Amino acid sequence: MNTLPVIAAVDGSDDSLRALDWALDAARRRGTALRVVHVRQYAPWVRPDVLVAGPPDLDEDPVLEQVRAHLASVADRPVMEYLGLEGAPAAMVPELGSAAQLLVLGSRGRGGFASLLLGSNGMAAARDAECPVVIVPRPGREVHGDDVPAEPGPRVVVGLQVDGPDEATLDFAFAEAALRGARLQVVAAYAWPLQSWAAPGELVPMMIDQDAVENETRTLAEGFLAPHRKNHPDVRADAHAMPGDAAGLLVAASKDAELVVVGRHRRRLLAPVRMMGSVTQAVLLHAASPVAVVPPTPGEG
């Protein structure tokens, strides 16, 4: 059993309070503590009579006081912990993941530009944190496309890349669906139409039957899902093999979903630093539901 807390990083913005509410529910479901952390970025300050550089008094943190007031009337709260830190939030917030089973942030904070869909702290945490990171978007995001069939009821969505499945991502998605009593909607995208190079600068369609590609994709997906179904027999997992762009399909499936789960990115030989794949970034920027970004299994990422 994971005894680490769920951590909500707050900054006093409406976005972070929505993330706090999501984190509160997540801590309840996991039966663990909720740790609320505010990282204040301070500048050197000067007293009139003497030059002093240093942080303000962390015992007086108006953001944490705001959080306490926000949660004062909430019944059945988990064990609550409050922590004030000072430093650069984009650097310190990802480090919180080393002591959390889940790190939760709003999509934007007080310091972001209004035109940005995802703030720098959220992007840094999703890319660098050692634990899964959930980004909670602002309400009212519109998504287009209804290509992924969705039945009524609670639903968790996960992307599956059949030519390189991420077991940590699948494991997290199944566990989250179990916690929520939700169906798991597995989206396995495949490129169509397939094309090959006939001559320099010339692409021609490949003579392959689409049904065969779809059936092969579905067969591979079912094989990767089998051990996870065995570990979570109460979770109904529906595999959808679909043509098109993985990011677009996942964003479309995010409408009315409780959560979309994506893998971060495996480290490549020529790119040894942590990074996020283009699908993950697109889903973070455009999904209507909260998005969980799962780091690879230690040793793989």
d(CA 290, CA 260): 6
Distance of CA 267 to the CA centre of its chain: 18
The CA–CA distances, whole Å, from 56 to 50, 63, 66, 90, 119 equal 16, 13, 17, 19, 25
Q: With respect to residue 149, please indicate whether it lies within any of the assigned structural domains.
A: no
53 and 129, same domain (yes or no): yes
Instruction: Tell me the two tokens of residue 116.
Output: 């940005």
* Cβ neighbour number for residue 57 with a 10 Å cutoff: 8
CATH number, domain at 42?
A: 3.40.50.620
Q: Are strands 80-86 and 102-106 parallel, antiparallel or unpaired?
A: unpaired
113 and 185, same domain (yes or no): no
15 and 85, same domain (yes or no): yes
pLDDT below 50 — which residues of the chain?
45-56, 58, 111-117, 197-198, 267-273, 301
116 and 11, same domain (yes or no): yes
Look up the pTM and report it: 0.85
In the chain, how many domains are there?
2
Q: With respect to residue 299, please indicate whether it lies within any of the assigned structural domains.
A: no
Contact 137, 287 (CB under 8 A): yes
CATH number, domain at 217?
A: 3.40.50.12370
- What is the structure's pLDDT at 18? 94
Q: With respect to residue 43, please indicate whether it lies within any of the assigned structural domains.
A: yes
- What is the structure's pLDDT at 32? 96
Domain range for 269 is 155-294
